A and B are shown apart, each in its own frame.
Chain A
C-alpha cells in the first residue's frame, strides 16, 4: 500500500512535505534563530515590521519578533493540536461506534440518532459554538474541535462492526465463552479500525484548518502563542503596509493543509480500486 502511495505523484509529494513539516516541527527549537521570540519572551519594538532579510528570514512582526522562528514553532502547535484533536475524536467516536455496531437494537438506535444530530451541524460551526462556550484558549479549541468531529468515526466504525458481528469467527469466539468486552476488543475492533484510521489521516488537514480558523476568530490560541491562524488574524491589520506578517503564517496553513489533502486523495485512490482503475 505504501509503495502504491509513493507511486502516485500527488500523494508522494504530500508525504514528503508532511515528513518535512514534522521534521521542522520537531527540530524547531534547534532550527529557529530566535526561539525565545516564538514564545513571546522577547520583543524588539524598535525593530517592528522589518521586511525579510538575512537577519530575519521572514521579516519581523508587529512587536519586532522574528517571524521565521514563530512560523516554525507554529508548525509544532498545528501538528500537535491536530493529533490531539483527532485522538480525542477517535477516543469518543470509536467506542460509541463499536458499541452501536455490536449491540444493535435500541443501543444502536440511540447512539446513531445522537450521532445524526451532531452530524447535522457543520463541524466548523459546531466547533466555533463550543469554543465560544468554553472560553478562548488553545486547549479549549482542541476540545471543541474534537467534540465536533467524533460522529464521523462513530458512523464508519459502526457499519464495519455491524458487518463483522455476524462473521463465523465472532460466532466461534462467542461459542467459546468469550465476554462482550473481549469480543469487541479482540475480534471486532482490529478489523473495523483500518477504514477509520484512513479517514482520520485524511481529516488531518481539515482539523489543522479548523484550529487555525478558531485562532483566526479569536476563539483558539491567544497572543503571544505563535499559532498560524492567530498570526494571520493579527497580521491582517497590517497587511497593506507589511504583507509578510500575513503571507508566511498563511503559507504555513496552506502548505500543511494541501499536503494532507494530497495524501488523502492518494489514500482514497489506493483504497478504492475502482476509482483507481477509472483514473488509469
Chain B
C-alpha cells in the first residue's frame, strides 16, 4: 500500500450545495455492475419524478428511475465514462421538485420487505463499482461482521467525508436497516485518520445506543491507498483474507459504503429511489472545489453552463472518479452516474513522461497490495504472450494503479494489465 498526497481541500469545513433543477438528463441504462437494465419508456412519453424508466434484467442488474418530471426526448446512445457510448434515456426536465415524506414505519417491515424496497429503488454500491445492493445483501448467510466503509482513500474526493459530516444520523439509520437484513454479530465503522472531524460525532453515535444495532465500534485507519478496497479493508480491520476468486462474504464480512447506507435510508424511510447523489468537483482547474448534490444524469456541460462549477483555466484533463482509478473523459457531455464520486479538473498533466525501459527494480512488486508481479504482466502483454498471464494470477489484479504510480520508468502498467485482461477474456 502507498501513501499519496491527499489534495483534499479544507477538510473539516466541508459544506454541500444543491443543484436539483437541470434541463436535460442523460441516463445510461448501464450504471451498475451487471447486465444493463431494460428500457420501459418511449420517445415523447411524459414521465414523473421517481418513476421507473428501466427495469433490471437478470440476476445482477439494477432498476433505473427518472430523477425528474419531464419528457423522454431521445433513446440514442450517449457518452459513458466507462463504456465510451452506451444506450440511454434522455429526458427534457420540467422543474417541479417532488417532496418525499415518510410513508411507512420501517420498524414493521421484515427482511424480505426491506430487500424488496432496496431492489425497487435501484440502490447500488456508491463507492465506485456500483454493484447492485440487493444482490450483495441477499445471499449472504453467516455474515458476522458488517463493515461500513468511510475511508475514501482516493485523493481529491471528499464526498463520503462531506456526507458523514452532514448526514451521519441518516447514515446510521441506513446501517440499522442493513443490519436488520443481514443480522451481523458486530459492525465496524471505518474511516481514515484524515477524517477526524467526524470522529467525535461518530463515537457519540456509536456509544449512544440510540440505534437498534448490535455491537458497533469505530476504527480509525492510517490514510493509505488502496485501503478503501474491499479486500484490503477487510484485511486491515479483521485480518481475514479474501481468497483468490472468492467474494468478501466468504470471510464472513460484508462491506458497504457510507453513501450506500444513506441511499438505503432514503429508499426505506422516504420511499425515494436512487436519483440524486453527492459529487465532488475538484482539481486545480476549478475556481473553487465543491461538493454538490445533483440529479443522476446531470451533465458536466450543464453544470458549467449554469455556473455551478466554474473553470479557473482551461483543463488539460478531466477525470471521472478518483485520480488513481478514474477515467479520463474526452469532453464535457458526460453525465453523473450512480457510482460517480467526483470529477477532477486538472490544468496540468502530471504524467508528462514517456515510457522508458523497465529497470526491473521491483518497486511495482513491492507496492502491489495483491502481491502480484506487474512488471511481468507488462512484459507478457508487450510480447503478446497472453497465455502466460493467467498463470501469473492476472485476474487477482484490482487495477488500483499503485504499480504505475511508483514506476520510475513511467511504464503505464495498469494500462498493460487492462489490455492483458481484455485479451484473456477474449480468448475464452
Say if A and B assemble together. Answer: no
